[in-house]
Amino acid sequence: MEATRSSRSRGAEVLTSDKTRQRQFCTFYVEGLCFGIGVREVQEVIRYQEMTRVPLAASVVRGLINLRGQIVTAIDLRRRLGLADRADAAESLPMNLVVRTDDGVVSLLVDEIGEVVEVDEDSFERPPPTLEGVARELVRGVYKREGSLLLVLDTARAVSVTRS
């Protein structure tokens, strides 16, 4: 039997029978990069929803969606990360990764949803000092995985936007 503790900063912590500590993340992709958010921060994943544009909102705010009667702000992670908009926007609609924050529920618009993964806590590293700009602000750290890296998104910072 596994015991689970919560850690908002880097996912749900799982203590396995051999006493190794692992963390669980919901993974998603933006511009081919694999990001993760702690499973306990994720409320749900839903297909693209029609949005109502908000005049004078920050450019990263794509609009508002009606999620079963609850109005939720949709933030485009491509724009938040300083990446280009989808070239084939009409053919490839983003997915909504709905997350819980201290300020309420927010939808993060991502290219693709991955899976829930468990990573060994020992494989975590802080971002290197050479990482600068928005990436430095939004990436909490990196987990080394077989053949890839998992970038841990700082959800609180990702949803904190100012008008630009």
Does residue 57 form part of some domain? yes
Give pLDDT tens digits for 115-162.
999 999 889 999 888 888 888 899 999 999 888 999 999 999 999 986
Residue 142, domain extent: 3-159
Does residue 59 form part of some domain? yes
pTM of this structure: 0.84
DSSP sequence for 50-71: --B--TT--TTEEEEEEETTEE
| 98 pLDDT more than 60 | yes
For the chain, the domain total comes to: 1
Does residue 164 form part of some domain? no
Q: How far apart are CA 119 and CA 70, in angstroms?
A: 33
Domain at 15, CATH number: 2.40.50.180
